[in-house]
Amino acid sequence: MIYHGLKGITCIETAISHIDGQNGKLIYRGYDVKELVQKQTFEETAYLLWYGSLPNSQQLHQLSEQFKSNRKLPTYVKKMIHSLPVNMDMMSVIRTTISSMGNNNMTWKPTIDQAITLTALMPSIIGYRKSVLENKSFDENAAKELNHVEYYLFMLTGAVPPKVHVEALETYMLLTLEHGLNASTFSARVTASTESDMVSSLTSAIGTMKGPLHGGAPMGVISLLDEIAASQSAIKVISEKVMNGERLMGFGHRVYKTKDPRAISLKKVLLQMLGEDQWLDLAIDIEETAISVLNKLKPGRSLYTNVEFYAAAIMKAIDMPPALFTPTFTASRVVGWTAHILEQSENNVLFRPQSRYTGETIKQ
């Protein structure tokens, strides 16, 4: 039996997260993610994924200080970012920059301190590259007391962000920290299984995330939102797409057979901001229309709104440039990747699946 894409094959045991697709639950280290987003911060949840438990006040303070002290980009990295072609996309910039950090401090065996350093640097890499392209000044010290999500938004805009924007983005990033053995996480664990360093494993994951079938889904939702806004008829646009057999971006999921728990949490954020942004209002309206159309034209398919749909609406609301959607996803998922790299190193077995040869036999 050949399982193309390894679909349905279980190849690891993990204590990091669990996806209950039938019942629509996502669990981080024993905690329902819907509860975590209401009570915990990005830093607290990152600590949970790395250490296996929620931090006390002292542990949280220590982690926050580690984040702040590791944000500064090395001089050689800044020079590298300046030298990269202006038409190089942000995911390629992140991949190249992270790869350059594979020095003697990043050798096997991976450590949590390495994970914290690499996570802390993500907003700096993205923000510095954006400032270079826009020919704007970059002050690393102006926001040194901000938390991780606040700092990321500051690096993108140059201003202390509104609380409502921080809450919206933090909810999104917390919900996308980790999601089982997806394609990029699998890439990270395969590389780690060779006893390569954390930077190499992370570079593999970033390269995988760059692919549009994995990290590019919110972009498709933006196109849908724009198309509906232009036509002013959600029913018409959605019905035509479904009838033409087009994939309706932002709806359905390979794992969840009921409502995506991450989408439910993000929707709560959108409802709190209802009336403050036209894109949020449009997204709520589109969701109701789309579900109605899908139930009518594709009965029994259980197609519900997924996390990418609401993520796109939030990105629109906080004026996040579309080119930064996948990089922002990456800045969050680096926590899950590094947690899996650490777990792989604790009970390592080299990944070595088999393939079936379908070419010609030896020619006489």
- DSSP lists the bridge partners of residue 251 as 305
Active-site residue, selected from the candidate residues 148, 165, 179, 253: 253
Residue 157: C-alpha distances to residues 47, 127, 134, 332 (Å)? 27, 9, 11, 18
Closest CA to 75 of 123, 118, 124, 112: 124
Could you confirm whether 145 is annotated as catalytic? no
Angle between the N-to-C axes of helices 261-272 and 307-317, in degrees from 0 to 180, rounded to the nearest 10: 30
Active site residue 360: no
Query: Of 68, 111, 73, 75, nearest to 94 (Cα)?
Result: 73
> Do residues 305 and 251 lie in contact, with contact meaning Cβ atoms separated by under 8 Å?
yes
Q: Do 252 and 306 touch, CB atoms closer than 8 A? A: yes
**Beta carbons within 8 Å of 315's beta carbon, 6+ residues apart:** 218, 222, 322, 325, 328
Residues 96/76, Cβ–Cβ less than 8 Å: no
How far apart are the C-alpha atoms of 137 and 102, rounded to whole Å? 28
DSSP assigned state of 212: T
- Give the residue from 18, 304, 311 showing the smallest Cα distance to 179: 18
Active-site pick, 178, 308, 340, 343? 308
Q: What does the alpha-carbon distance between residue 175 and residue 168 come to, in Å, rounded to a whole number?
A: 11
Under 8 Å between Cβ of 116 and 67: yes
- Label residues 345-354 b or e (16+ Cβ within 10 Å = b): beeeeeeeee
Residues written for the chain: 364
Active site residues: 253, 308
